[in-house]
Amino acid sequence: MADATTATAPIHHEVLAAVLQVRQGTLRVLLWQRAMEPHAHRWSLPGGLLRMDEDVETSIRRQLAEKVDVRQVSHVEQLAVFSAPDRTPGARVIASAFLCLVPSHLDPELPGDTEWHQLESLPDTAFDHRAIAVRARDRLRAKLSYTNIGFALAPPAFTISALRELYSAALGYRVSATNLQRVLSRRGLLEPTGRTTRPGRAGGRPAAEFRFADASMAVTDAFAVLKPPGQQR
Amino acid sequence: MADATTATAPIHHEVLAAVLQVRQGTLRVLLWQRAMEPHAHRWSLPGGLLRMDEDVETSIRRQLAEKVDVRQVSHVEQLAVFSAPDRTPGARVIASAFLCLVPSHLDPELPGDTEWHQLESLPDTAFDHRAIAVRARDRLRAKLSYTNIGFALAPPAFTISALRELYSAALGYRVSATNLQRVLSRRGLLEPTGRTTRPGRAGGRPAAEFRFADASMAVTDAFAVLKPPGQQR
DNA sequence: CCAAAAGTGTTTGGATTACACCCATGA
DNA sequence: TCATGGGTGTAATCCAAACACTTTTGG
């Protein structure tokens, strides 16, 4: 409601999450289907209004808890503000959008109105949520190249070929297991668990198991060019 | 999505700009000195409250016009939202922060309360504005490596050694003119104007003049690793 | 002719891709 | 022993940093 002491009409602030996970070999985003107008039946990103006592990151974690167990979210980062005056009908709402990741081995319980949708074939989306989801996908793809963010898509332990499938699904093209292992190893991101997995019925050599050395995001390939002098990579 | 009838206290939304320019060989940020409480006498980033009819980028360009001629701003991009509930005393204000760049050959008229401050030795700053300025600096430094963003720091035409000084000032370490030229040339970012500059009193070979081929930001070194197959750089 | 500044040639090291080949297992 | 999938060796390519050397000017 309007505050009589302010000269401007109130602007509401919401937080929205593009929660991404690799499922069944494709990159997917969590969407819920709106029951009511506006944009009834269309699919929306989870989120909601910011509360007075929380910053935007605290808020998105709280709101996400209504859709998925927050402890299953392995990474949260700000994407951008979406603020077009007409991005929603009626009262003005500014959105702070987030990229959130869930590791592939988890399968959170979901409310009935919620589903994982392939990013490459999104259904009818509400408001500007399609643009937000696409932005999240692009941010993830870029960061797979120069950060250790793969840890947030992968289970605690994995084989190189399992990791290759995660990277391939997220990036949208086939990644070579050989090169993936070398790039991540040279950067010191991977460490062997010492264990191996048993081959399937078809046989084959048992695969060595690895884990990511760190479970928080760090830039691993900064200053690709124009490095400070005397600092060969 | 927001329900406009929710009874929450109003949250104000402001936009803030970290306007950066290389001046006298160092990277600087535009700050104005607050006259009134809160944080009187401390230095602030330019900006102000968002209006009902503008998105955040439109707003920051409008507000900036009060401090510098907006036509002199060569690049504007969103940095992040700063939303800690106690980031300002009194009514809650959420800030959308921007990185803005001004080319080095311009010297905008400034209001009396406004000055360019070295980023490496900031004065007492108001609120969380120091953190925002530092974030802007870091973003600029990262993007100098993998985008053509140098165009936004440089005049329309320049010599390689002038460009080297801009990059050195922005990055905070000495960049080699030889390698700078080769990196930017290989990426097709530089084109010769055909003209040369006259050497100073001390003599020396006349320097060739160059310009940037594009005047809007583009990523020039994406997919540093894990490139799609068959796509050698 | 010398100093100064700009520009080019070349070497070196490193990173990444691509691909051939070897290893360990189930049947 | 063979098919299968995992893992390692290695060559080819490309990029960028470093530095020596050449070019063009003013005095």
Summarize pLDDT for A183-223 with one digit per residue, the tens: 999 999 999 999 999 988 888 899 999 999 999 999 998 87
CB proximity A205–strand D (7 Å threshold):
yes
The DSSP letter of residue A62 is: H
Q: Which tokens belong to A6?
A: 């302010």
Q: What percent of chain A has pLDDT over 90?
A: 84
- pLDDT of A6 over the 80 cut: no
pLDDT band at B177 (very low <50, low <70, confident <90, very high): very high
How many CA within 13 A on the CB side of residue A32? 19
Q: For residue A231, what pLDDT is reported?
A: 59
- pLDDT of B48 over the 50 cut: yes
* CATH match for B4-144 among 3.30.56.10, 3.40.50.150, 3.90.79.10, 1.10.1240.10: 3.90.79.10
**pLDDT tens by residue, B103-119:** 999 999 999 999 999 99
Check: CB of residue A170 under 8 Å from CB of residue A140. Answer: yes
* Chain B residue numbers touching A48 (CB-CB < 8 A): 1-2
Under an 8 A CB cutoff, do A55 and B84 touch? yes
From chain B residues 3-62, the ones with a CB under 8 A of any chain A CB are: 3-13, 49-57
Report CA-CA distances (Å) from B39 to A215, B34, B35, B44. 39, 7, 9, 9
What is the average pLDDT value for chain B, to the nearest integer? Answer: 92
User: Between A and B, how many residue pairs show a Cβ–Cβ distance under 8 A?
Assistant: 131
Q: What residues contact residue A215 under an 8 Å CB cut-off, 6+ apart?
A: A74, A151
Under an 8 A CB cutoff, do B51 and A8 touch? yes
pTM of the shown model: 0.93
Which H helix or E strand runs over B118?
strand B114-118
What is the average pLDDT value for chain A, to the nearest integer? Answer: 92
CATH 1.10.10.10 in chain B is located at: 147-231
Under an 8 A CB cutoff, do B78 and A81 touch? yes
Residue from the list B13, B55, B78 with its beta carbon closest to the beta carbon of A84:
B55
Q: For residue A44, what pLDDT is reported?
A: 97
pLDDT band at A8 (very low <50, low <70, confident <90, very high): low
Mean pLDDT of A153-165: 97
- pLDDT of A1 over the 70 cut: no
Q: How many Å apart are A163 CA and C24 C1'?
A: 21
- pLDDT of B44 over the 80 cut: yes
* Chain B residue numbers touching A145 (CB-CB < 8 A): 222-226
Taking the stretch 178-197 of protein chain B, residues with Cβ within 7 Å of any atom in nucleic acid chain C are 178, 181, 196
Q: Which tokens belong to A171?
A: 């990036």
C-alpha distance from A78 to closest chain B C-alpha (Å): 7
Check: CB of residue B107 under 8 Å from CB of residue B123. Answer: no
Check: CB of residue A118 under 8 Å from CB of residue A79. Answer: no
Q: Look at A85 and B37; give whichever has higher pLDDT.
A: A85
Q: What percent of chain B has pLDDT over 70?
A: 95
- pLDDT of B6 over the 70 cut: no
Q: Which CATH class is domain A147-231?
A: mainly alpha
- Identity at A25, one-letter amino acid code: G
CATH 3.90.79.10 in chain B is located at: 4-144
**pLDDT tens by residue, B27-37:** 999 999 999 98
Coil, helix or strand for B188?
Answer: coil
Under an 8 A CB cutoff, do B85 and A55 touch? yes
Within 7 A of a protein CB, which nucleotides of strand D? Answer: 3-9, 13-20, 23-27
Q: For residue B233, what pLDDT is reported?
A: 47
B173 alpha carbon, distance to own chain's centre: 18
